[in-house]
Amino acid sequence: MGRPPKNPQPQPELRPIDIDRSSVSQEVIKALTQSFFSGGLLPGHRLPSERQLSESLGVSRSAVRDAIQSLGLLGILDIRQGDGTYLRGTGSNFLPAVIEWGLFLGEKRLFDLVEARQQLEIILAGFAATRRTQEEVDRLAELIELMRDPDISSEAFIEADIEFHFMIAEVARNGALRDVLTSITGLLRAWMARSISAAGETRSSFQEHEVVFEAIRDKDSRGARAAMRRHLSQAERRLRTTLKDDPSTYVVQSGRAGNDSKEQQ
Protein backbone atom coordinates (compact mmCIF):
# COMPACT_ATOMS: atom_id res chain seq x y z
CA MET A 1 0.00 0.00 0.00
CA GLY A 2 1.44 3.36 -1.02
CA ARG A 3 1.96 6.09 1.49
CA PRO A 4 -0.60 8.92 1.50
CA PRO A 5 0.83 12.32 0.53
CA LYS A 6 2.14 14.30 3.47
CA ASN A 7 0.49 17.52 2.34
CA PRO A 8 -2.49 16.72 0.12
CA GLN A 9 -3.29 19.66 -2.11
CA PRO A 10 -6.68 21.37 -1.75
CA GLN A 11 -9.35 20.65 -4.34
CA PRO A 12 -11.33 23.52 -5.84
CA GLU A 13 -14.96 23.70 -4.78
CA LEU A 14 -17.01 23.86 -7.98
CA ARG A 15 -20.75 23.92 -8.55
CA PRO A 16 -22.75 22.94 -11.64
CA ILE A 17 -23.15 25.67 -14.27
CA ASP A 18 -26.61 26.52 -15.58
CA ILE A 19 -26.16 28.39 -18.86
CA ASP A 20 -27.01 28.27 -22.54
CA ARG A 21 -24.79 26.24 -24.82
CA SER A 22 -23.10 29.19 -26.57
CA SER A 23 -21.57 30.54 -23.38
CA VAL A 24 -20.52 27.31 -21.69
CA SER A 25 -16.77 27.72 -22.14
CA GLN A 26 -16.82 31.34 -20.98
CA GLU A 27 -18.71 30.37 -17.83
CA VAL A 28 -16.28 27.52 -17.17
CA ILE A 29 -13.45 30.08 -17.36
CA LYS A 30 -15.22 32.25 -14.79
CA ALA A 31 -15.97 29.31 -12.50
CA LEU A 32 -12.35 28.15 -12.54
CA THR A 33 -10.81 31.58 -11.98
CA GLN A 34 -13.24 32.36 -9.18
CA SER A 35 -12.24 29.08 -7.57
CA PHE A 36 -8.57 30.02 -7.87
CA PHE A 37 -9.24 33.37 -6.22
CA SER A 38 -11.00 31.68 -3.31
CA GLY A 39 -7.93 29.55 -2.60
CA GLY A 40 -9.49 26.34 -3.85
CA LEU A 41 -6.29 25.64 -5.74
CA LEU A 42 -2.86 27.02 -4.93
CA PRO A 43 -0.26 28.19 -7.48
CA GLY A 44 1.89 25.28 -8.59
CA HIS A 45 -0.78 22.68 -7.83
CA ARG A 46 -2.46 20.47 -10.40
CA LEU A 47 -6.07 20.87 -11.45
CA PRO A 48 -8.51 17.96 -11.24
CA SER A 49 -8.81 15.97 -14.46
CA GLU A 50 -11.07 17.06 -17.31
CA ARG A 51 -13.49 14.31 -16.33
CA GLN A 52 -13.63 15.45 -12.72
CA LEU A 53 -14.12 19.09 -13.70
CA SER A 54 -16.79 18.11 -16.21
CA GLU A 55 -18.72 16.20 -13.56
CA SER A 56 -18.34 18.92 -10.91
CA LEU A 57 -19.51 21.69 -13.24
CA GLY A 58 -22.14 19.66 -15.08
CA VAL A 59 -20.74 20.50 -18.51
CA SER A 60 -19.15 18.58 -21.35
CA ARG A 61 -15.47 17.68 -21.33
CA SER A 62 -15.00 19.66 -24.55
CA ALA A 63 -16.23 22.82 -22.78
CA VAL A 64 -13.74 22.20 -19.97
CA ARG A 65 -10.98 21.56 -22.51
CA ASP A 66 -11.73 24.83 -24.35
CA ALA A 67 -11.70 26.79 -21.09
CA ILE A 68 -8.39 25.27 -20.01
CA GLN A 69 -6.84 26.06 -23.39
CA SER A 70 -7.99 29.68 -23.12
CA LEU A 71 -6.57 30.03 -19.61
CA GLY A 72 -3.36 28.48 -20.89
CA LEU A 73 -3.15 31.12 -23.63
CA LEU A 74 -3.60 33.82 -21.00
CA GLY A 75 -0.66 32.44 -19.03
CA ILE A 76 -2.81 31.51 -16.04
CA LEU A 77 -2.53 27.73 -16.44
CA ASP A 78 0.47 25.60 -17.35
CA ILE A 79 -0.67 22.71 -19.55
CA ARG A 80 1.88 19.90 -19.36
CA GLN A 81 1.41 17.15 -21.91
CA GLY A 82 1.04 13.82 -20.14
CA ASP A 83 1.32 15.38 -16.68
CA GLY A 84 -1.84 17.44 -16.25
CA THR A 85 -2.65 21.13 -15.89
CA TYR A 86 -1.22 23.36 -13.16
CA LEU A 87 -2.04 26.79 -11.80
CA ARG A 88 0.92 28.83 -12.94
CA GLY A 89 3.22 31.11 -10.97
CA THR A 90 2.38 32.82 -7.74
CA GLY A 91 -0.65 34.67 -6.50
CA SER A 92 1.01 37.98 -7.39
CA ASN A 93 1.37 37.06 -11.08
CA PHE A 94 -1.97 35.27 -11.26
CA LEU A 95 -4.07 38.31 -10.39
CA PRO A 96 -2.66 40.64 -13.09
CA ALA A 97 -3.07 37.91 -15.71
CA VAL A 98 -6.74 37.54 -14.82
CA ILE A 99 -7.62 41.20 -14.51
CA GLU A 100 -5.74 42.26 -17.63
CA TRP A 101 -8.14 40.18 -19.68
CA GLY A 102 -11.13 41.47 -17.76
CA LEU A 103 -12.61 38.14 -16.76
CA PHE A 104 -14.74 39.60 -13.99
CA LEU A 105 -15.73 43.13 -15.03
CA GLY A 106 -19.33 43.89 -15.91
CA GLU A 107 -20.59 47.07 -17.58
CA LYS A 108 -21.06 49.15 -14.41
CA ARG A 109 -17.63 48.25 -13.04
CA LEU A 110 -16.03 48.82 -16.44
CA PHE A 111 -17.26 52.40 -16.78
CA ASP A 112 -16.47 53.18 -13.16
CA LEU A 113 -12.87 52.35 -14.05
CA VAL A 114 -13.03 54.34 -17.29
CA GLU A 115 -14.17 57.38 -15.29
CA ALA A 116 -11.42 56.90 -12.71
CA ARG A 117 -8.80 56.59 -15.43
CA GLN A 118 -10.02 59.79 -17.09
CA GLN A 119 -9.70 61.83 -13.92
CA LEU A 120 -6.25 60.46 -13.11
CA GLU A 121 -4.82 61.00 -16.58
CA ILE A 122 -6.17 64.55 -16.80
CA ILE A 123 -4.41 65.43 -13.54
CA LEU A 124 -1.20 63.66 -14.60
CA ALA A 125 -1.13 65.47 -17.97
CA GLY A 126 -1.34 68.82 -16.19
CA PHE A 127 1.49 67.90 -13.84
CA ALA A 128 3.60 66.60 -16.72
CA ALA A 129 3.33 69.92 -18.57
CA THR A 130 4.88 71.81 -15.65
CA ARG A 131 7.41 69.19 -14.52
CA ARG A 132 8.80 67.71 -17.73
CA THR A 133 12.45 67.98 -18.74
CA GLN A 134 13.67 68.49 -22.29
CA GLU A 135 14.95 64.91 -22.34
CA GLU A 136 11.47 63.68 -21.47
CA VAL A 137 9.91 65.88 -24.15
CA ASP A 138 12.32 64.35 -26.67
CA ARG A 139 11.29 60.84 -25.63
CA LEU A 140 7.59 61.67 -25.93
CA ALA A 141 8.33 63.17 -29.37
CA GLU A 142 9.96 59.90 -30.45
CA LEU A 143 6.84 57.99 -29.46
CA ILE A 144 4.63 60.43 -31.35
CA GLU A 145 6.78 60.01 -34.47
CA LEU A 146 6.48 56.24 -34.18
CA MET A 147 2.69 56.48 -34.04
CA ARG A 148 2.67 58.96 -36.95
CA ASP A 149 4.28 56.47 -39.35
CA PRO A 150 1.51 55.15 -41.67
CA ASP A 151 3.48 51.94 -42.19
CA ILE A 152 3.88 51.10 -38.52
CA SER A 153 2.71 47.63 -37.53
CA SER A 154 -0.24 47.23 -35.18
CA GLU A 155 2.02 45.72 -32.54
CA ALA A 156 4.50 48.61 -32.69
CA PHE A 157 1.73 51.21 -32.59
CA ILE A 158 0.24 49.55 -29.54
CA GLU A 159 3.57 49.51 -27.72
CA ALA A 160 4.19 53.19 -28.50
CA ASP A 161 0.67 54.11 -27.40
CA ILE A 162 0.97 52.33 -24.06
CA GLU A 163 4.44 53.73 -23.42
CA PHE A 164 3.22 57.26 -24.20
CA HIS A 165 0.58 57.13 -21.46
CA PHE A 166 2.92 55.57 -18.93
CA MET A 167 5.66 58.07 -19.81
CA ILE A 168 3.30 60.96 -19.02
CA ALA A 169 2.57 59.34 -15.66
CA GLU A 170 6.31 59.14 -14.96
CA VAL A 171 6.93 62.73 -16.08
CA ALA A 172 4.19 63.94 -13.70
CA ARG A 173 6.37 62.79 -10.78
CA ASN A 174 3.60 61.59 -8.51
CA GLY A 175 4.26 57.97 -7.65
CA ALA A 176 0.92 57.38 -5.92
CA LEU A 177 -1.15 58.56 -8.90
CA ARG A 178 1.12 56.66 -11.29
CA ASP A 179 0.67 53.39 -9.41
CA VAL A 180 -3.11 53.73 -9.26
CA LEU A 181 -3.22 54.48 -12.98
CA THR A 182 -1.06 51.43 -13.72
CA SER A 183 -3.52 49.18 -11.88
CA ILE A 184 -6.56 50.66 -13.60
CA THR A 185 -4.96 50.47 -17.04
CA GLY A 186 -4.22 46.79 -16.44
CA LEU A 187 -7.94 46.22 -15.92
CA LEU A 188 -8.96 48.16 -19.02
CA ARG A 189 -6.39 47.14 -21.63
CA ALA A 190 -8.39 44.39 -23.29
CA TRP A 191 -11.39 46.66 -23.83
CA MET A 192 -9.36 49.64 -25.01
CA ALA A 193 -7.64 47.38 -27.52
CA ARG A 194 -10.81 45.90 -28.93
CA SER A 195 -12.70 49.19 -29.05
CA ILE A 196 -10.17 51.13 -31.09
CA SER A 197 -9.62 48.19 -33.45
CA ALA A 198 -13.34 47.68 -33.98
CA ALA A 199 -13.96 51.38 -34.49
CA GLY A 200 -11.14 51.66 -37.04
CA GLU A 201 -10.00 54.98 -35.61
CA THR A 202 -6.28 54.48 -35.16
CA ARG A 203 -5.53 57.71 -37.03
CA SER A 204 -7.93 59.69 -34.85
CA SER A 205 -6.34 58.20 -31.76
CA PHE A 206 -2.89 59.30 -32.96
CA GLN A 207 -4.07 62.86 -33.59
CA GLU A 208 -5.52 63.04 -30.08
CA HIS A 209 -2.18 61.93 -28.63
CA GLU A 210 -0.34 64.52 -30.71
CA VAL A 211 -2.38 67.39 -29.24
CA VAL A 212 -1.65 66.14 -25.72
CA PHE A 213 2.06 66.01 -26.54
CA GLU A 214 2.15 69.53 -27.97
CA ALA A 215 0.59 70.99 -24.83
CA ILE A 216 3.09 69.17 -22.59
CA ARG A 217 5.96 70.29 -24.83
CA ASP A 218 4.77 73.90 -24.60
CA LYS A 219 4.41 73.73 -20.79
CA ASP A 220 0.71 74.44 -21.18
CA SER A 221 -0.80 72.75 -18.14
CA ARG A 222 -4.37 73.83 -18.85
CA GLY A 223 -4.06 72.83 -22.50
CA ALA A 224 -2.62 69.44 -21.57
CA ARG A 225 -5.52 68.72 -19.24
CA ALA A 226 -8.05 69.80 -21.87
CA ALA A 227 -6.37 67.71 -24.59
CA MET A 228 -6.24 64.64 -22.37
CA ARG A 229 -9.90 65.15 -21.45
CA ARG A 230 -10.88 65.26 -25.14
CA HIS A 231 -8.77 62.22 -25.96
CA LEU A 232 -10.21 60.09 -23.17
CA SER A 233 -13.73 61.26 -23.95
CA GLN A 234 -13.24 60.00 -27.50
CA ALA A 235 -11.75 56.76 -26.17
CA GLU A 236 -14.86 56.25 -24.04
CA ARG A 237 -17.07 56.94 -27.07
CA ARG A 238 -15.21 54.29 -29.07
CA LEU A 239 -15.59 51.83 -26.23
CA ARG A 240 -19.32 52.44 -25.83
CA THR A 241 -19.84 52.10 -29.59
CA THR A 242 -17.98 48.80 -29.64
CA LEU A 243 -19.96 47.39 -26.73
CA LYS A 244 -23.25 48.53 -28.25
CA ASP A 245 -22.41 46.87 -31.57
CA ASP A 246 -20.94 43.73 -30.00
CA PRO A 247 -21.92 43.05 -26.37
CA SER A 248 -19.88 39.83 -26.44
CA THR A 249 -16.81 42.07 -26.09
CA TYR A 250 -17.46 41.83 -22.33
CA VAL A 251 -16.48 38.16 -22.36
CA VAL A 252 -13.14 36.62 -23.22
CA GLN A 253 -13.81 34.54 -26.31
CA SER A 254 -12.79 30.93 -25.76
CA GLY A 255 -9.68 29.92 -27.65
CA ARG A 256 -9.23 33.36 -29.24
CA ALA A 257 -8.02 35.45 -26.34
CA GLY A 258 -4.42 35.37 -27.44
CA ASN A 259 -5.25 36.66 -30.90
CA ASP A 260 -8.04 39.18 -30.46
CA SER A 261 -6.32 41.77 -28.31
CA LYS A 262 -4.92 44.96 -29.81
CA GLU A 263 -3.85 46.87 -26.77
CA GLN A 264 -4.28 50.48 -27.69
CA GLN A 265 -5.34 53.29 -25.41
Q: What is the CATH number of the domain that holds 48?
A: 1.10.10.10
> Which of 100, 119, 145 corresponds to the end of one domain?
100
pLDDT category of residue 166 using cuts at 50, 70 and 90: very high
Contacts of 10 (CB under 8 A, 6+ apart): 39, 40, 41, 42, 45
pLDDT for 109: 75
**Separation CA 213–CA 148 (nearest Å):** 13
Inside any domain, residue 30: yes
Same-domain check for residues 141 and 58: no
pLDDT, tens digit (0-9, with 9 covering 90-100), for 43-72 = 788 999 999 999 999 999 998 998 898 788
Q: What is the CATH number of the domain that holds 133?
A: 1.20.120.530
**Separation CA 237–CA 70 (nearest Å):** 29
pLDDT for 193: 64
DSSP string, 53-73: HHHHHTS-HHHHHHHHHHHHH
Same-domain check for residues 35 and 140: no
pLDDT category of residue 263 using cuts at 50, 70 and 90: very low
Count: domains in the chain: 2
> Which of 100, 132, 161 corresponds to the end of one domain?
100
